[in-house]
Amino acid sequence: MQRSQYYFNVALLALLVATPGHAGTIARPTPPDPLLDGGATTACAAGADYAAGTDVNGKPVVPADVGAGPVPVPDAITVPLGQGRRQAGRGRTGLGGEGAYVTLDGRKLEPLLNPRPCK
């Protein structure tokens, strides 16, 4: 019985060691996918696909943000991470006790929420 366990362990070890050797490498890098590429990073760089105040046929329409003022942004935003998730192997929720939090800087969010108008 011990001999068969020994051979089994040796065969298992040989498989575990040999498996990474069978993994292939990328022969050449793949080109970026246009569907996954983020495209323009600012609203002003969006191009001719969007023209404010006109519809698809070029007829004038009322802009969507008529009279809209800037969105007020606080100095800091604190966001809880992982609230309500079940702890692995414990069978209880993570609502009790201290959780992890992240604080976002409002000054860095300001350009995202209130972009400058395009010229």
In 3D space, the residue among 110, 107, 108, 82 whose CA is nearest the CA of residue 96 turns out to be: 82
CA 100/CA 98 separation, integer angstroms:
7
For the chain, the structural domain boundaries read 72-88+99-119
Does the model's pTM come out above 0.85?
A: no
Q: What is the pLDDT along the chain (119 residues), one digit of tens a residue?
A: 688 888 888 888 887 776 666 666 667 777 777 666 666 556 566 555 666 777 878 788 887 766 778 889 999 999 888 765 555 555 555 455 567 889 999 888 888 888 777 76
Find out whether 4 and 12 touch, Cβ atoms under 8 Å. no
The secondary structure of 45-106 as a DSSP string is GS-TT--TTB-TTS-B---TTTT--PPP--SEEEEEESTTPBPTTT-SBTTSS--EEEEEEH
